[in-house]
Structure 1
């Protein structure tokens, strides 16, 4: 110690002088393996600290009962019961239960099969290296050997595997959280050992490291619904029954981490005591952000143990690999539903046809595919097939938490980007084909989800367009399932008299009519018509559409004269406003012959048919929806007037057109098929009518439902006609 009381440590020195002195000292620092200093001994940096244990699973709170996974447990159980020499890789999204499965296998191997169990955190190089060297020490490596390996003076992985291969006891080595496969690849840490089994858990699904001989891959997904619900009941048995647990489990996407946190929350409440039903309502009100409140009861606040943060580990890793755009893409997807998103919906961005301005980080055309590949590689999304299209799909809880993390300043930008993607993917209005209906089936959930995530006029207008196209495609039950909720949300945002809200109610009223709920359809159409007259005026095209819509339930409620008056009002107004030959005017005109036939106005019927036929031939192609509809209406009118011989060939022509253009199960195809049944019966061909009616009945039950008003009369008519044929 100097007179000043200073003390040197390590290689430091104290200089004490009197008078004027000049001292110059040079320090040279060398990393291990760089050749060392020219003079004196080499200074070795300290080795990474060894883990507290490699003989115990370092998983925080020990998982409870492991639900499901029977087949995978059978395969892994057989591996630790056998001679060894296998490598198994379990991959899946964060929170799907990979570590819980590894913990189960570790316990099984140690307790049931007498294996030595080793558990190493493989999430980063330092922890992997320290853990593996500790394994070597456990298997007999000398202190000098370990020091040399730690100092870089001998190959560390060779040392570890030498002692594992020489182990007198069989073993199981778990390499947990190996989400960056390069950590294992650098240094060749992943090998198969003759006396042991290796289990790797990872979020990375597609690494080339998993495709080498001797490695078996196992994808881990979410739980079946009943098993997911049982986890909640296991953790919070007093919070509700299995049925209530099923609702919460489905809302949480059956993700084990989310279920565990939710169950922990329900079981450890003090000031509040929510039931599972109340928790389900809270999820609707506050989204899945409330799930992480269960972390304190679960015993962990690390990012991996929180649904709101576990995904960020993967996104940070992707950003570190030069793919910050993966975060942008996932944020875009988070404004859509947790349903398959067609890759064709993203393709315009990749081709440079659609530029999404203002996103942070920016998503350029050239970076879309690498960003998507990054999400797939890290199990943040998966490729699936749906409706004959390749799609990408992400988990709902993941999407909820990612969307919650989007800053307030960026939310509208991402919502607009998602709306642009969705709008560009929709079929053109008026296109009704099996392919278009399949595309609508894929896109419809995203319109509703986008409206819920970013409510506003833009997203409301888009949602109404989608539900209108669903209706026009013939999916009347689907349209009726969507329209009321969309209309309610838009009315709460924009008011009941806003044109977008009125359009949503118009679709709802038309769907009610097609589903046979005529009084409800009439009442809603009258309400919409009154509001449109008040807000838009009597001659606005939307008001005239309401006149057309209202005439339909009135027609089937035997209010024929009022129906005719409304239809003529719509037709005359459209001729003035839209033009006599516009497709919409012709569509309204196309239904007039049927109304005239119902009223017995045969002379007017014939005159209108001649004029309508000429107008359609002049303005429309034969396959145009309105042209086909006009021929359908004329065939119906001919049958109503008792002109069966004229009606039959036209009805069969229309049936062939409907089937060719819209498919055999389309409700309008079934309508004209039923018309051919009635014509055949009236022409005395009851046996033929019975056989066709059987097909109509079977298809209507499947398409419209057994409770549709058409179905019961069809069934009664079929029974009566069959009895006639048997006499």
Structure 2
């Protein structure tokens, strides 16, 4: 057969792909084109380098180094809220490992597959094999871990920010060690995660990373300022709650803006009650990837988003806790009744809330390090870290108005249980109202007055006068001089004056207020009767007990007609009438009134309620008047124990009960040995 013409077996110009040139062909021809190589995923396996010393983690790092050097049978996991320094601890361990000649691999869950394939390639696996496993992650994990197990050189593998544990194994619990987190004879595995759930990670060893305390927090702040010891560092570190991320941001601000903030005191004054300013000042200074994780607002937004993906009620519960429990105060579970949350706080949802659903929401917050379960006075409560609480409140805005008002309503329905608790909660609500105009001036005034009332109950009369004064100014401007809230503000201002023993000034205020309340509300309105009650107290403070008793009798008759026998105000009038009767030496009438008040309050409020204890205290005074020191001692001891627990050891009423108990005469000891002759 003749050969084809030469022209048919010639090519010129550039050639792309595969060119087959044949002269004589006999039989079949098969062409196998080479596969084009997939692009290599560009991942980084290097750990972050520390810019400053690691403070307050010596014990934890010693434990991790010891486990690393001895060979750990299980992985180790660092847990804790975002911004608390888990990554810093891991980076410090990485520096130690590198100094000891170990290979360090630093991977992130969001690029776990390509990163771990790259680890295997660095340990001797071929690039071609790695590419073959890109679409088979379970097989890829077995292949990678065979290389890690067989490594001739020890290694440290850090899986940082495993905040979505399912990325480590979509099928099994990460602790089962069938996915990307495993133990190995070849090295040491350390995972960092916000998810503090030992059952999820078991049998891995879990270490909780907490905020820094005392000198460690101060030194961390100073490190980030460039090592300058400046006045106010201790106060600023305490204000930031010892949270490493906050200390880092504050240090960067002080180091960069030395003209605006020459020392921590100046920055502390600028932050005042709004830590959101910390983010505003430091945002331009935060560079690089993961910027969201390097600002306080981003840290908690990320946590909330993760929790919200798992539980529909968790965010509302967290915001409620941030309002009820500022400054690290524990919120007792009894303050979060399911019926109250449904009525006031939670929006109607396709996900019904029952006790089990509420428990799941709390657990979701707890495992992400946002909430701690606390034991307080033999009852269970929930506590937020002060910085978490404050940062969460800072994000509240117009869209959260319904929830904020609902929390206030929930709290108002429980008022008078624990003045310390209520003071903090109403102060937090008032602070939110002052910067969210959509809540309205009436809400701002109401929370300010509730704050003033709590101050009075705690014996902080000057503070009460200040809170009530601010509320009065807002009320007069926005609501008018005759509005009930304006009049209530005037009442509380006068009460603060009275208890500071500015009796004449208080009396003038009450008399002017009485005229206005009678005109605006009516002669027998409960608030008008409140003012009459205070005027009768003024008479008693001037030792005019006959006049005081007559006034209280008239007020009590009006209370019984208008409000009924079990109203809080009716019982207060009965108590005041008994006190006046006691001072007039009508002890039988006084005892009858005090016992009726004690019985009714105990039934309605509970034995240990502050108001019940006030009636018990009066019975102690009456027992002394009757010459019954043993009975007086029993009453005063019960009051002292309860006030110490509820009001605190240093509260004026607690101190008064202590002094009364100490002053009760003790019976003469009996002589059991007979006459001495």
Q: Same fold (TM over 0.5)?
A: yes
2:201 to 208, 211, 215: 211
* Structure 1 runs not aligned, ≥5 long: 13-37, 357-362, 565-591, 597-607
- Measured in 1, the distance between the counterparts of 2:318 and 2:168 equals 27
What CA distance in whole angstroms lies between the structure 1 residues aligned with 2:406 and 2:138? 57
Aligned partners of 1:260 and 1:276: how far apart in 2?
13
Q: CA distance change for structure 1 residues 648 and 79 in 2, over 3 Å: closer, same or farther?
A: same
Q: Which residue of 1 aligns with 2:169?
A: 185
1:415 and 1:138 map into 2 onto residues whose CA distance is 55
Where 2:275 maps in the other structure, the secondary structure is helix
The TM-score, its normalising length taken from structure 1, stands at: 0.69
Q: Distance in 2 between matches of 1:196 and 1:716?
A: 68
Partner of 1:132: 116
Contact 1:342–1:392 at 8 Å: present in 2 too? yes
Q: How does 1:282-681 map to 2 (within 5 A)?
A: 282-284=270-272, 287-291=275-279, 293-294=281-282, 300=288, 302-314=291-303, 338=326, 345=336, 347=338, 356=347, 364-366=349-351, 372=361, 376=365, 379=368, 381-385=370-374, 394=384, 397-398=387-388, 411-427=397-413, 440=422, 443-444=425-426, 446-455=428-437, 456-464=440-448, 466-467=450-451, 470=454, 475-477=457-459, 484-485=466-467, 487-488=469-470, 491-492=473-474, 495=477, 498=481, 499=483, 500-510=485-495, 513=498, 516-519=499-502, 523-524=505-506, 526-527=508-509, 530=512, 533=515, 537=519, 540=522, 541=525, 544-545=528-529, 547-548=531-532, 550-552=534-536, 554-558=538-542, 560=544, 564=547, 593=549, 616=560, 620-621=564-565, 625=568, 628-629=571-572, 631-644=574-587, 647-648=590-591, 651=594, 654-655=597-598, 662=605, 668-669=611-612, 671-681=614-624
1:181 is displaced (CA, Å) by: 1.6
Match of 2:212 in 1: 223
Match of 2:42 among 38, 49, 63: 49
Structure 1 residues 653 and 376: alpha-carbon distance in aligned structure 2, compared to 1, 3 A threshold: closer
Q: How far apart, in 2, do the equivalents of 1:528 and 1:614 lie?
A: 19
In 1: Cα distance, 2:339 partner to 2:588 partner: 53
What is the aligned length? 623
Corresponding residue for 1:118? 104
Equivalent in the alignment of 1:234: 223
> Deviations 1:504-557 (Å, cap 9, x if unpaired)?
4533543665xx4221x6635644663675698376448735632541552344
Q: Could you tell me how far apart the structure 1 residues matched to 2:133 and 2:269 are? A: 56
Residue 143 of structure 2 corresponds to 159
Residue aligning to 2:159: 175
Superposition map of 1:643-722 within 5 A: 643-644=586-587, 647-648=590-591, 651=594, 654-655=597-598, 662=605, 668-669=611-612, 671-685=614-628, 689=632, 703=647, 708=652, 715=659, 721=665
Task: Indicate conservation of the 8 Å contact 1:345/1:422, yes or no.
Answer: no
Task: Describe the superposition over 1:201-245 as per-residue Cα deviations: whole angstroms up to 9, x where unpaired.
Answer: 11233497x334x3122333322354323322333354633xx33
2 CA distance for matches of 1:6 and 1:322? 62
Within 2, Cα distance between the matches of 1:523 and 1:246?
42
* Cα RMSD (Å): 5.0
8 Å contact kept, 1:170–1:195:
yes
Aligned-pair distance for 1:95?
0.9
Do the aligned partners of residues 393 and 346 (structure 1) sit closer, same or farther apart at CA in structure 2, a change above 3 Å counting? Answer: farther
Q: 8 Å contact 1:335–1:414 — kept in the other structure?
A: no
1:117, 1:145 → 2: CA distance?
22
Contact (CA 8 Å) 2:117, 2:144: kept in 1 or not?
Answer: yes
Contact 1:693/1:718 (8 A) holds in 2: no
- 2:26 maps to which residue? none
Structure 2 CA distance for partners of 1:475 and 1:645, relative to 1, 3 Å: closer
Q: 1:274 aligns with which of 262, 266, 280?
A: 262
Asked if the contact 2:134/2:140 (under 8 Å) is kept, the reply is: yes
Going from structure 1 to structure 2, the CA distance change for 1:711 and 1:145 (only over 3 Å counts) comes to: closer
* TM-score (normalizing by structure 2): 0.74
Contact 2:98 2:104 in 1 (8 A): no
Structure 1 position 641, deviation (Å): 3.1
Shift of 1:313: 4.1
Measured in 2, the distance between the counterparts of 1:398 and 1:193 equals: 37
Maintained 8 Å contact 1:222/1:253: yes
Q: Deviations over 1:694-714 (max 9, x none)?
A: 766777788487684995798
The separation in 2 between residues aligned to 1:548 and 1:308, in whole angstroms, is 50
Conservation of the 8 A alpha-carbon contact between 1:266 and 1:274: yes
Aligned-pair CA distance for 1:443:
4.7
For structure 1, which segment, 370-379 or 102-111, has the greater mean C-alpha deviation from structure 2 after superposition?
370-379
Check whether the contact 1:483–1:504 (CA below 8 A) recurs between aligned residues. no
CA contact (8 A) 1:89 1:201 kept: yes
Residue 71 of structure 2 aligns to a residue in which SS? coil
How far residue 647 of structure 1 moved from its aligned partner, in angstroms, is 4.7
Equivalent pair of 1:337/1:445 in contact (CA under 8 Å): no
CA distance in structure 2 between the partners assigned to 1:350 and 1:9 by the alignment: 71
Q: For 1:264 and 1:673, how far apart are their aligned partners in 2?
A: 56
User: For residues 373 and 648 of structure 1, what CA distance do their matches in structure 2 show?
Assistant: 47
Paired residue for 1:87, among 75, 87, 99? 75
CA separation of 1:546/1:463 partners in 2, compared to 1, >3 Å: closer, same or farther? same
Task: Say if 1:477 and 1:40 are closer, same or farther in 2 by CA, change over 3 A.
Answer: farther
CA 1:645 to 1:716, structure 2 compared with 1: closer, same or farther past 3 Å? closer
Contact 2:120 2:147 in 1 (8 A): yes
1:193, distance to aligned residue in structure 2 (A): 0.8
Q: Secondary structure at the match of 1:73?
A: helix
Deviates more, 1:176-185 or 1:327-336: 327-336
- Distance change (3 Å), C-alpha of 1:85 and 1:501: farther
Query: How far, CA to CA, are the matches of 1:108 and 1:247 in structure 2?
Result: 33
